[in-house]
């Protein structure tokens, strides 16, 4: 117990903290400039000077540890004089351009000078001059205003881990700059903007159009880009977002955001947003009224159901829509129309991976807390770069590495290059061989607890008949054996082949051997929620298998549940092309663009009698639709998302939308027109039914969710244990696959599917698709970064610039699926692999120098 | 690269080896261009921004292209009294060499130094790494003519 006195107040401390922190706890605010919660103390600005009895000089409270018996004074004449002098020094060079500075009103220097003075400077020489830099599309740099607190640099290095900026020069010619001196070319997280106390680093997106007092409304919400679900504050004026910012202490991201969350909001105000419902007449889409569109959808669905039966109708839900939307979609399909033909693009990877992991290891196995990753002493990453797919989760791995955790990567992980201890080659093509080699060694000498007999049996069968070269096996096994508190992060890239069921079993075995917490990367904010709401052909709301729980669901709802398992995403496409599926209802998804094999999907959808698309843009799929219904975007509606750690979070509306309707409400209107009683006037009523039907969400109200209490297991209910077994082929004969060059899907940091292409800000950072290749491949072809190459598959070819990634395995060539001009989908084919996810095995590709 | 490997052996971490590595890069590239800094960063596996921050802090690195030979002439008090400023003028007359500048033929660059610790033999200068003192209007050119 430490007892000290600050400004006459006696303070008792349980643990060692700084004087600054002790004072804050006692409600005494000591002024600071270079201090920022969460960053390492720097003691550079000297504003937090305090008087401590028996110490000869003034001390910086941010670096001085509180000690027993200390008597501290924080506001004396001596201290005030010192602060005044420091501020006078800072103002020697800091321009007094507050009227044109965007920071005015929330500038820490301005506030400090207002409080401590001086009212006039004594320095008569001129101020230093350094031109404002507009070299960067997003961040404007005014180094005349910089006070060298280094908060941005400490943020960039110690929390973000990007090491993009530094102090260049020295003395009064010190400036904070990126390496290039111009463009940042960094991860563009913008976290430096959060910490800059003055107007030195500012966003260009709201330049000269933002002042703190312009903000009419602030709303706390959750980001709609990826499966992490970062909390953020939308600041609005006249119904539009001026900016989105993170807030310390808010949400799992605690003050950090990534590029998409911070700068990617301008798609909401895109000119291309859908303004009106559209109906196809004589081959063209025409604007119609809502009532006409809704009546038409209902009458066509009714007609098709009567003519071809309910099994001729299917629906695709969305990882971007809320739980409520997805619940209503499956409700419409299951109870009103009477089919289980419902799925989402989670089928491409997330859903089958999660279901099999849960089948082997138990329901909720991936429900682990993201902020807990940093406490791990070992992290195994495989199947994609978390710092690109789920950036804020990636930062946790960097934090763990900084705290001494051993990080082992298998496969592409450029963002962890500086943080990984062992980067294993071989993935994705030969991931099974590497995992098999690891498991063969690791299982020796490990006493298995017999918790999972089936998995242990499988584990003992693992045999690599032909190992691959270049794996530092001893070192890897040594590192794995030392892990007492391990984390395993699994991404999509290793689960996109025909053998992915075997890969997943090997991953599950590794999780079991390491007793690791497992995280499944998710590209969309609500894949997990869509699944939990029953947007699956064989699962009812609450993650309940159809065959086992049909009766229970019928009892709960008083409705009949169709007995047969429905068609999944791939099967619906096949059924459409074979003419078995006549109508498809697509909500918030763009299969024509987002699925590989554009031609195959387009051909299949063309054969449909009726296609409805509910979206915010006229997507490639919407262009083919018979009816297009404009939905509300992420910031224009309320509802809940379930993130990849199964945290249910509330998203709130803030901006205006005159034209769109919430997805769930559109579905309610259509259900009513199909003879359902109108039940849901407000969103809360939808959730009430979810809670009633789904045992997973039982007793979970919106109040709990808003309070941040909706963390797995909700209300502490234990759920299904392990009950599944799988037929896994070739466990005892794992050999390398000679696949040749394979085309893979790139998941870039700056973009997210086809939504981000409507964000001017994100496009200003990256406005083209890159062909990402390995260093070896680039050397072999004599290529340098930025060279243009031709990419050829049996479906066609395209030209794009290359990006060399030293962590890419030699025979893999990546391209993203964002841009219309050059994308993955138009060049790639697919199969449904044995896991049920996307298999890209048969995608041979050639590269030619142009 | 071999040279850098040797340097790395002497330091407990990569960051420690940065200053000597920058000298190696400077020697190879003539000055610390962006390319030279990037190479140094790559050789040590340090972030390029960090390397730049360190490099720009120190005066002994060249941040723009320099002549083949670098003249570092002292004009502090002792040297000034002993006529160093006259020598600066003469260098300008003879070679067209301004302080901070480089001759047109790329032979010499001139940097005005703070005290180089040779006040007893002022005025004094360094040419590359060679020390020359007791300079006057005549012998300075005798000395410089030896540097091609």
Per-domain residue ranges of chain A = 2-75, 123-269, 278-344+535-638+656-693, 350-520, 742-849
What are the backbone dihedrals phi and psi of residue A844, each rounded to the nearest 5 degrees, phi first?
-65, 145
- Kindly tell me if the per-residue pLDDT of A596 is higher than 90: yes
CATH code for the domain defined by A350-520 = 3.40.228.10
User: What would the mean pLDDT of A604-621 be, rounded to a whole number?
Assistant: 97
Identify the pLDDT of residue A447: 75
Of chain B, the percentage scoring pLDDT greater than 90 comes to: 63
Q: Of the CATH numbers 1.20.272.10, 2.40.128.20, 1.10.3720.10, 3.30.70.20, which one belongs to the domain with range A123-269?
A: 3.30.70.20
Of chain A, the percentage scoring pLDDT greater than 90 comes to: 87
User: What would the mean pLDDT of A152-170 be, rounded to a whole number?
Assistant: 96
Identify the pLDDT of residue A842: 83
Q: Of the CATH numbers 2.60.120.200, 2.40.40.20, 3.30.420.40, 3.40.630.30, which one belongs to the domain with range A742-849?
A: 2.40.40.20
Residue B53: its chain A contacts at CB < 8 A? 166-168
A733: confidence class by pLDDT, cuts 50, 70, 90:
very high
Identify the pLDDT of residue A522: 97
- Kindly tell me if the per-residue pLDDT of B123 is higher than 80: yes
Identify the pLDDT of residue A811: 87
Least confident window among A60-74, A274-288, A506-520, B59-73: B59-73
A315 strand-pairing partners: A342, A585
A155: confidence class by pLDDT, cuts 50, 70, 90:
very high
- Kindly tell me if the per-residue pLDDT of A718 is higher than 70: no
- Helix (H) or strand (E) segment spanning residue A775: helix A775-781
Identify the pLDDT of residue A324: 97
Identify the pLDDT of residue A264: 96
Of chain A, the percentage scoring pLDDT greater than 70 comes to: 100
In chain B, the N- to C-terminal Cα span, in Å, equals 28
Identify the pLDDT of residue A262: 96
In A421-554, DSSP assigns E strands to 422-424, 486-490, 517-520, 539-540, 544-545
pLDDT digits (tens, 9 = 90+) for A228-248: 999 999 999 988 999 999 999
Q: Which of A164, A169, A180 sits opposite B56 (nearest CB)?
A: A169
pLDDT digits (tens, 9 = 90+) for A192-219: 999 999 999 999 999 998 888 999 999 9
Find which of B49, B54, B61 to mutate to test the A interface (most A CBs within 10 Å of its CB): B49
Residue A168: its chain B contacts at CB < 8 A? 52-53, 56-57
In angstroms, the separation between the Cα of residue A164 and the nearest Cα of chain B is: 6
The architecture (CATH level 2) of B2-57 comes to Orthogonal Bundle (1.10)
In angstroms, the separation between the Cα of residue A168 and the nearest Cα of chain B is: 5
Interface residues of B toward A, Cβ cutoff 8 Å, are: 34, 37-38, 45, 47-50, 52-53, 56-57
Identify the pLDDT of residue A657: 76
Q: What SS3 string covers A165-198?
A: EEEECCHHHCEEEECCCCCCCCCCCCHHHHHCCC
Nearest CA in chain B to A177: B49
In angstroms, the separation between the Cα of residue B33 and the nearest Cα of chain A is: 11
Identify the pLDDT of residue A719: 67
ipTM: 0.88
- Kindly tell me if the per-residue pLDDT of A66 is higher than 70: yes
Fold for A278-344+535-638+656-693, please state it: Rossmann fold (3.40.50)
Reduce the DSSP state of residue A243 to 3 states and report it. strand
A715: confidence class by pLDDT, cuts 50, 70, 90:
confident
Question: Do the Cβ atoms of B47 and A163 come within 8 Å?
Answer: yes
User: What would the mean pLDDT of A101-130 be, rounded to a whole number?
Assistant: 92
Q: What share of chain A is helix, strand, coil (3-state, %, to 5)?
A: 35, 20, 45
Identify the pLDDT of residue A725: 86
Identify the pLDDT of residue A557: 86
- Kindly tell me if the per-residue pLDDT of A449 is higher than 80: no
- Kindly tell me if the per-residue pLDDT of A446 is higher than 80: no
- Kindly tell me if the per-residue pLDDT of A804 is higher than 90: yes
Identify the pLDDT of residue A119: 87
Q: Can you tell me the distance from the alpha carbon of A380 to that of A382, in angstroms, rounded to the nearest whole number?
A: 7
Q: Can you tell me the distance from the alpha carbon of B95 to that of B105, in angstroms, rounded to the nearest whole number?
A: 9
- Kindly tell me if the per-residue pLDDT of A79 is higher than 90: yes
Residues constituting chain B: 148
- Kindly tell me if the per-residue pLDDT of A849 is higher than 80: yes
Q: Can you tell me the distance from the alpha carbon of A559 to that of A541, in angstroms, rounded to the nearest whole number?
A: 14
Q: Which of A166, A180, A418 sits opposite B53 (nearest CB)?
A: A166
Identify the pLDDT of residue B4: 85
Considering chain B, tell me which residue range(s) the CATH 3.40.30.10 domain(s) occupy: 69-144
DSSP state of A636: G
User: What would the mean pLDDT of B19-28 be, rounded to a whole number?
Assistant: 92
- Characterize A430-455 residue by residue with b for buried, 16 or more Cβ atoms within 10 angstroms of its Cβ, and e for exposed: bbbbbbbbbbbbbbeeeeeeeebeeb
- Kindly tell me if the per-residue pLDDT of A489 is higher than 80: yes
Q: Can you tell me the distance from the alpha carbon of B4 to that of B24, in angstroms, rounded to the nearest whole number?
A: 7
User: What would the mean pLDDT of A731-740 be, rounded to a whole number?
Assistant: 89
Residue B45: its chain A contacts at CB < 8 A? 418
DSSP state of A155: I
Fold for B69-144, please state it: Glutaredoxin (3.40.30)
Q: Can you tell me the distance from the alpha carbon of A266 to that of A241, in angstroms, rounded to the nearest whole number?
A: 8
Considering chain B, tell me which residue range(s) the CATH 1.10.10.1590 domain(s) occupy: 2-57
In angstroms, the separation between the Cα of residue A169 and the nearest Cα of chain B is: 5
User: What would the mean pLDDT of B136-148 be, rounded to a whole number?
Assistant: 91
**What is the signed CA dihedral for A680, A682, A688, A691, rounded to 10 degrees?**
100
User: What would the mean pLDDT of B20-36 be, rounded to a whole number?
Assistant: 92
Residue A165: its chain B contacts at CB < 8 A? 49
User: What would the mean pLDDT of B139-145 be, rounded to a whole number?
Assistant: 92
A584: confidence class by pLDDT, cuts 50, 70, 90:
very high
Identify the pLDDT of residue A395: 97
pLDDT mean across residues, chain A = 94
Residue B38: its chain A contacts at CB < 8 A? 179
Q: Of the CATH numbers 3.10.20.740, 3.30.930.10, 3.40.50.300, 3.40.50.12280, which one belongs to the domain with range A2-75?
A: 3.10.20.740
Q: Can you tell me the distance from the alpha carbon of A715 to that of A701, in angstroms, rounded to the nearest whole number?
A: 10
Q: Can you tell me the distance from the alpha carbon of B31 to that of B55, in angstroms, rounded to the nearest whole number?
A: 11
Max Cα distance, chain A (Å): 93
- Kindly tell me if the per-residue pLDDT of B7 is higher than 80: yes
- Cβ-in-10-Å burial (0-12, 13-18, 19+) of A29 comes to exposed
A800 strand-pairing partners: A789
Interface residues of A toward B, Cβ cutoff 8 Å, are: 163-170, 177-180, 418
Find which of A156, A165, A166, A421 to mutate to test the B interface (most B CBs within 10 Å of its CB): A166
Q: Can you tell me the distance from the alpha carbon of A475 to that of A472, in angstroms, rounded to the nearest whole number?
A: 6
Q: Can you tell me the distance from the alpha carbon of A66 to that of A83, in angstroms, rounded to the nearest whole number?
A: 21
Identify the pLDDT of residue A762: 96
User: What would the mean pLDDT of A357-378 be, rounded to a whole number?
Assistant: 94
pLDDT digits (tens, 9 = 90+) for A515-558: 999 999 999 999 999 999 999 999 999 988 998 888 888 988 88
Question: Do the Cβ atoms of A180 and B34 come within 8 Å?
Answer: yes
Contact, A84 vs A46, CB < 8 A?
no
Helix A546-557 crosses helix A683-693 at what angle (to 10 degrees)?
A: 130
């Amino acid at each position: 117990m430490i007892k000290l006195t600050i400004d006459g107040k006696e303070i008792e401390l349980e643990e060692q903290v700084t004087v600054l922190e002790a004072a804050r706890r006692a409600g005494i605010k000591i002024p600071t400039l270079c201090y920022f919660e969460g960053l390492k103390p720097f003691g550079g600005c000297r504003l937090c000077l305090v008087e401590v009895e028996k110490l000869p000089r003034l001390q910086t409270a941010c670096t001085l540890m509180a000690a027993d018996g200390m008597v501290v004074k924080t506001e004396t004449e001596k201290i005030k004089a010192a602060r005044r002098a420091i501020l006078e020094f800072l103002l020697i060079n800091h321009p007094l351009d507050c009227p044109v500075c965007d920071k005015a009103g929330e500038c820490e220097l301005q506030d400090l000078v207002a409080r401590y003075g001086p009212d006039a400077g004594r320095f008569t020489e001129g101020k230093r001059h350094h031109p404002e830099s507009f070299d960067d599309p997003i961040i404007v740099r005014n180094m005349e205003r910089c006070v060298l607190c280094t908060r941005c640099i400490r943020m960039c290095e110690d929390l973000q881990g990007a090491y993009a900026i530094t102090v260049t020069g020295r003395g009064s010619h010190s400036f904070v700059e990126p390496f290039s001196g111009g463009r940042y070319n960094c991860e563009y997280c913008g976290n430096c903007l959060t910490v800059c106390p003055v107007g030195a680093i500012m966003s260009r997106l709201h330049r000269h159009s933002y002042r703190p007092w312009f903000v009419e409304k602030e709303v706390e919400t959750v980001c709609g880009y990826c499966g992490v679900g970062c909390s953020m504050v939308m600041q609005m004026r006249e119904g539009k977002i001026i900016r989105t910012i993170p807030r310390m202490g808010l949400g799992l991201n605690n003050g950090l955001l990534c590029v998409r969350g911070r700068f990617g909001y301008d798609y909401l105000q895109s000119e291309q947003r859908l303004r009106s419902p559209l109906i196809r007449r004589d081959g063209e889409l025409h604007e119609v009224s809502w009532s006409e569109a809704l009546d038409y959808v209902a009458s066509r669905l009714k007609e098709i159901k009567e003519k071809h039966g309910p099994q001729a109708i299917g629906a695709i839900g969305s990882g971007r829509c809320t739980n409520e939307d997805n619940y209503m979609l499956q409700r419409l399909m299951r109870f009103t129309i009477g089919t289980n033909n419902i799925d989402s693009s989670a089928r491409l990877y997330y859903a089958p991976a999660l279901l099999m992991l849960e089948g082997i290891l138990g329901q909720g196995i991936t429900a682990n807390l993201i902020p807990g990753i940093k406490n791990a002493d070992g992290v195994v990453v495989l199947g994609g770069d978390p710092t690109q797919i789920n950036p804020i989760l990636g930062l946790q791995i960097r934090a763990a590495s900084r705290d001494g955790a051993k990080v082992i990567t298998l496969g592409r992980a450029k963002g962890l290059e500086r943080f990984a201890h062992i980067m294993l080659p071989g993935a994705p093509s030969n991931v099974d061989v590497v995992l098999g080699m690891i498991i063969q060694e690791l299982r020796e000498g490990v006493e298995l607890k017999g918790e999972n007999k089936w998995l242990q049996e499988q584990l003992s069968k693992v045999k690599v008949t032909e190992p691959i070269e270049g794996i530092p096996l001893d070192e890897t096994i040594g590192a794995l054996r030392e892990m007492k508190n391990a984390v395993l992060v699994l991404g999509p890239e290793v689960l996109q082949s025909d053998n992915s069921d075997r890969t997943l079993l090997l991953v599950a075995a590794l999780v079991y051997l390491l007793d690791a917490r497992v995280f499944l990367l998710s590209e969309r904010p609500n894949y997990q929620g869509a699944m939990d709401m029953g947007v699956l052909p064989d699962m009812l709301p609450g993650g309940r298998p159809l065959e086992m729980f049909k009766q229970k669901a019928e009892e709960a709802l008083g409705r009949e549940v169709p007995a047969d398992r429905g068609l999944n995403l791939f099967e619906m496409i096949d059924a459409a092309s074979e003419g078995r599926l006549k109508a498809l209802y697509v909500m918030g998804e763009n299969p024509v663009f987002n699925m590989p094999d554009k031609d195959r999907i387009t051909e299949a959808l063309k054969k449909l009698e009726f296609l409805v698309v509910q979206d915010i843009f006229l997507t490639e799929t919407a262009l083919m639709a018979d009816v297009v219904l404009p939905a509300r975007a992420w910031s224009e509606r309320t509802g809940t998302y379930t993130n990849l750690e199964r945290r249910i979070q509330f998203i709130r509306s803030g901006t205006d939308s005159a034209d769109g309707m919430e997805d769930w409400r559109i579905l309610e209107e259509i259900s009513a027109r199909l003879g359902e009683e109108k039940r849901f006037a407000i969103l809360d009523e939808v959730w009430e039914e979810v809670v009633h039907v789904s045992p997973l969400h039982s007793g979970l109200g919106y109040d709990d969710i808003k309070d941040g209490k909706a963390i797995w297991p909700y209300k502490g209910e234990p759920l299904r244990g392990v009950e599944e077994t799988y037929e896994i082929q070739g466990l005892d004969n794992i050999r390398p696959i000679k696949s040749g060059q394979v085309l893979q899907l790139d998941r870039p940091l700056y973009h997210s599917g086809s939504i981000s292409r409507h964000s001017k800000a994100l496009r200003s950072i990256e406005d083209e698709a890159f062909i990402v290749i390995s260093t070896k491949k680039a050397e072999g072809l004599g290529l340098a970064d930025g060279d243009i190459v031709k990419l050829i598959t049996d479906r066609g070819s395209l030209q794009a610039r290359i990006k060399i990634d030293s962590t890419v395995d030699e025979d893999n060539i990546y391209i993203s699926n964002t841009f219309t001009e050059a994308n993955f989908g138009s060049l790639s084919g697919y199969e449904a692999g044995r896991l049920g996810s996307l298999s890209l095995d048969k995608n041979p590709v050639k590269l030619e120098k142009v | 690269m071999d040279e850098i490997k040797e340097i790395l052996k002497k330091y407990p971490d990569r960051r420690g080896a940065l200053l000597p590595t920058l000298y190696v890069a400077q020697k190879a590239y003539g000055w610390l261009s962006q390319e030279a800094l990037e190479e140094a960063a790559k050789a040590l596996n340090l972030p390029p921004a960090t390397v730049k921050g360190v490099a720009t802090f120190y005066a002994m690195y060249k941040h723009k292209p320099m002549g083949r030979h670098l003249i570092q002439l002292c004009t502090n008090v002792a040297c000034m009294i002993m006529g160093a400023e006259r020598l600066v003028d003469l260098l300008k007359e003879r070679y067209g060499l301004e302080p901070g500048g480089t001759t047109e033929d790329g032979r010499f660059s001139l940097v005005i130094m703070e005290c180089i610790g040779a006040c007893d033999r002022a005025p004094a200068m360094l040419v590359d790494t060679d020390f020359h003192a007791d300079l006057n209007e005549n012998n300075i050119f005798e000395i410089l003519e030896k540097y091609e």
